[in-house]
Structure 1
Amino acid sequence: MRDVYLIGAGQTAFGAFPQRSYRDLFAKAYQHARKRVDGDIETKDIDEAVVGSLGVGGRQLGLSGPAVTEHVGLQNIPCTRVENACAAGGFAVRQAVQAIRSGMADVVLAGGFEVMSDLSSEMTKYWLGVSGETEWERLTGTTFSGVYAQMASAYLDTYDATVEDLSRVAVKNHKNGAKNPKAHLDFECSLEDAVGAPEVANPLNLYHCCPTSDGAAVALLASEDVVGEYTDDRLRVAGVGAASDHVGLAERDSYVGLAATETAAQTAYERSGVGPDDLDFAEIHDCFAIAELLAYEDLDFCERGEAAKLLREGITEPDGDLPVNTSGGLKSKGHPIGATGTGQMVEVFDQFTGQAGDRQLDSPRYGLTHNVGGSGGATVVHVFENEGVKR
């Protein structure tokens, strides 16, 4: 199979843009990605497109992929829309990688978009809820914050972790997001603020929950055969892993870990030859603060029950041994469902090409992205290597 490289990535700001068209947002992200490719890349160079979206509000549910790609002049290529709840964007990237590795395409666009702020809160909860277990969770009144609250309660009861540790996730990610001009919630918060915020679903409070956001993001990927035509940077997709699990919590063996993440991570590590100890940074799916703690353990960053220790010791801070969510994560950068996974690719591109501004890390070689659908029904993990950095 051929190697695949990230040659460009761009996004809109994430935020609340109820008057913006999803086509317009996608077009802006696409143009941003094109401009960041070193060499000229034309629309005619793109062989295929894969676009992720939940379709919040029922927008073009049947053909939302072609609806955005034809808007930017890509109407004569294959375009597939991917829907895997909050992991739609990450799975779009995975599908793009597969198309290139198979030899069916040389340059593929992987994109994602969502407009969520133009609906009432009740309708937004409905559209978010369809990503969970319908009969036994959503139709009985459980929200996603309620589902993750159950996981948080189980975790706090099982391990040496507290509500204050959940709040440390918010403080870290808001501090990072305040340095990101694309972030939805671009402000810092104190630990006192994060601990004392209004309750949403015990033990989760407002600062433990990501916002509902609008936005779009695009990643451009190329095969090893043509990457040199577009850039001298060699940002390789070193490994990809994906897995699925029971959609509903009640069917799972454990509430204190996501089996799909664990499987996807191990697959990505095996295929890349890169382990968690090799990583220089990670962008992980922190839709709720507890999700970041679970991910530390599912991704094998630490032993079971030791996630809070990573936070307390500053290991996942930008100056720590393994910076996590330098972009601000979903908590601060935002969570426009279909664009979240592709937005993680933008941070990888920024960090590898030295364009992360005040968030910039020192010459990272390996990075990881982790994108989760629903409460763990689907997960995809990518490992990236900057081949220009040697140690």
Structure 2
Amino acid sequence: MPKDVAVIGVGQSAFVRGYQGSIRELAFEAFREAMQDAAMSVADIGASVVCSAPEYDKQRSPSGLIAEYLGLNPQPTFVIENVCSSSTSGVRVAYSLIKSGLHDVVAVIGFQKMSEITSAESQERMGRGADIIWESPFGTMMPAYYAMHARAHFTQYGSTEKDLALIRVKSSKYGVLNNKAVYRKEVALEQALDAGVVSSPLKVFDCCANADGASCVIMANADKAKGISNQPVWVMGLGAATAPMNLAGRDALSGLNCARLAAQQAYEMAGVRPRDIDVAEVHDCFTIAELMAYENLGFAEPGKGVELIRNGETYIDGKIPVNVDGGLLSKGHPIGATGGSQIRTIVLQLRGEAGAIQVPGAELGLVHNIGGVGIYGNVIILGR
């Protein structure tokens, strides 16, 4: 795989509940950190891709507002929306813009200020992420959708509530070490198992939290990257796939086919196999989502993902460290910013700059970012 496009700067705001500023100020926090990381000026940015789920935004067409505030006029700006996978979709678009030769350097800015609306309004909008004619009217919300996935996995493979709780225990261990995470408390196994039920079998600690936050990924072609960065991180493989919006249209609920197909594409493009990955960030909006990701990404055979968490293989010192920044479960999940945050974590890992959560010698990292209830799947492989 030729090294044609690199990530040369990454940034992220703290993920918080109830951010006091505006969306433009929130985006600026991540953009400033990424620009400082890349040691660039706004004049160096050829285009921007702004990523959010607009049903949470009071500002219509936020890309224009944010580009203006960040000093990115008159460069072109674009808006991308693939719900929770928006910013990795933005990275795919930026990669294409750079590979085509239209732009040398592109900034991908993801954000979400979910506190702009109430929790009830947020749940209603999440419900409308399903088919509004054939599925949403039944009132199914995100926890219930993933609870169906959990029940299917339990039934087919014999996984248990304890296996899901073990995933949250790992998440909380590393969330404590992440100063940008919204939830920085350790969760004991008994605490996770005894928590209140949200949608059986999922309990409170099986679910990620809404949050306000922003992320930024600056990408460049090979010539620019080598001229600007001492440690460019290369985009080695990209995969993307979709699935029927209605769950009734899917073959099985014990995994996400869009993630499996996206992973196959990314591995093929990068010329690597699952066992070559040194560290991974997966979309753990619910504990069952991380368990399914182990299997969809090929880290374990279907039904064998539980062995990874039971044996501690997804911890920093395990066979395949996963979500050692706390994942969505501890960091929080500001929809449009999530994928960019995952990429930031992997970039820091590959540069050896991840501090207390550094995976020793990490050279190849993977990002798995899902939109909706397995509707959109993005997998990105990054290399040192």
TM tier, smaller: over 0.9
State the 1:18 CA deviation: 4.1
Q: Which amino acid aligns with 2:125?
A: W
Q: 1:58 to 1:42 in 2, by over 3 A?
A: closer
Question: How far did residue 113 of structure 1 move?
Answer: 0.2
Superposition pairs of residues 142-161 of structure 1, within 5 angstroms: 142-161=140-159
Query: Please, which of 279, 289, 295 is the counterpart of residue 277 of structure 2?
Result: 279
How far 1:19 moved relative to its partner?
Answer: 2.3
- Compute the TM-score of the two structures, normalised by the length of structure 1: 0.96
- Work out the percentage of aligned pairs sharing the same amino acid: 39
Whether the aligned pair in 2 keeps the contact of 1:114 and 1:216 (CA below 8 Å) is yes
Alignment of 1:90-169 (within 5 A): 90-169=88-167
Conserved? CA contact 1:137–1:143, under 8 Å: no
Q: State how far apart, in whole Å, the 2-side matches of 1:145 and 1:154 are.
A: 14
Partner of 1:47 in structure 2? Answer: 46
Segments of structure 1 that go 5 or more residues without pairing to the other structure are 387-391
> Which position in structure 1 is the counterpart of 2:353?
355
> Mean Cα displacement is larger for which, 156-165 or 113-122?
113-122
**2:305 matched to which residue of 1?**
307
Paired residue secondary structure (1:69): helix
Q: Is the 8 A contact 1:2 1:100 kept in 2?
A: no
Q: C-alpha distance in 2, partners of 1:16/1:291?
A: 23
SS in 1 for 2:229: coil
Number of the residue aligned with 2:23: 22
**In the alignment, what sits opposite 1:327?**
325
1:6-52 C-alpha deviation (Å, 9 max, x unpaired): 10101000111242211101011100111112xx3110111111111
Contact 2:367 2:380 in 1 (8 A): yes
Hey, what does 1:258 align to over in structure 2? 256
Cα deviations across residues 53-77 of structure 1 (Å, max 9, x unaligned)? 002434223x211211211100211
Give the corresponding residue for 2:180. 182
Question: How far apart in 1 are the matches of 2:144 and 2:120?
Answer: 15
Moved more, 229-238 or 376-385: 229-238
The runs of at least 4 aligned residues of structure 1 exceeding 6 Å deviation read: none
| Aligned partner letter, 2:228 | Y
* CA 1:308–1:198: 2 relative to 1, 3 Å: same
What pairs up with 1:204-353 in 2 under 5 angstroms? 204-353=202-351
1:5 matched to 2:10: no
2-structure distance, mates of 1:85, 1:48 = 22
Partner SS for 2:10 = strand
- Aligned twin of 1:82: 80
- Read off the aligned partner of 2:129 and give its amino acid letter: S
Measured after TM superposition, the shift of residue 2 of structure 1 is 6.5
Contact 2:51 2:79 in 1 (8 A): yes
CA distance in 1, matches of 2:134, 2:201: 21
Q: Distance in 2 between matches of 1:56 and 1:356?
A: 33
> For residues 323 and 2 of structure 1, do their structure 2 counterparts lie closer, same or farther at Cα, with a shift above 3 Å needed?
closer
Q: Partner letter of residue 348 of structure 1?
A: I
Write the distance in 2 (CA, Å) between the matches of 1:130 and 1:369: 26
The 1-side partners of 2:73 and 2:360 are apart by 41
Secondary structure of 1:36's aligned partner: helix
User: Offset of 1:211 from its aligned partner?
Assistant: 0.2
Question: 1:18·1:118 contact (CA, 8 Å) conserved in 2?
Answer: no
Aligned residue type for 2:270: S
Contact kept, 8 Å, 1:341 with 1:371, in 2: the verdict is yes
Partners of 2:196 and 2:132 in 1: how far apart? 27
Give the Cα separation in 2 of the matches to 1:312 and 1:137.
35
Given that 2:57 and 2:116 are in contact with CA atoms closer than 8 Å, whether structure 1 keeps it comes out as: no
Cα offset for 1:355? 2.1
Report if the CA contact (8 A) 1:2-1:101 is conserved: no
Q: Is the 8 A contact 2:57 2:113 kept in 1?
A: no
Residue 280 of structure 1 deviates from its aligned partner by 0.4
Deviates more, 1:195-204 or 1:97-106: 97-106
Distance 1:20 1:174 in 2: 28
What residue ranges of structure 2 are gaps of 5+ in the alignment? none
1:69 aligns with 2:70: no
Give the aligned length. 383
CA RMSD of aligned residues (A): 1.2
- Residue 177 of structure 2 aligns to which amino acid in structure 1? K
The alignment partner of 1:220 has SS state of strand
Residue deviations 1:297-355, cap 9 Å, x none? 11111111001111001110111010000111110011000000011111012212222
Aligned residue type for 1:252: R
CA distance in 2, matches of 1:327, 1:79: 30
The CA distance in 2 between the partners of 1:225 and 1:140, in whole Å, is 53
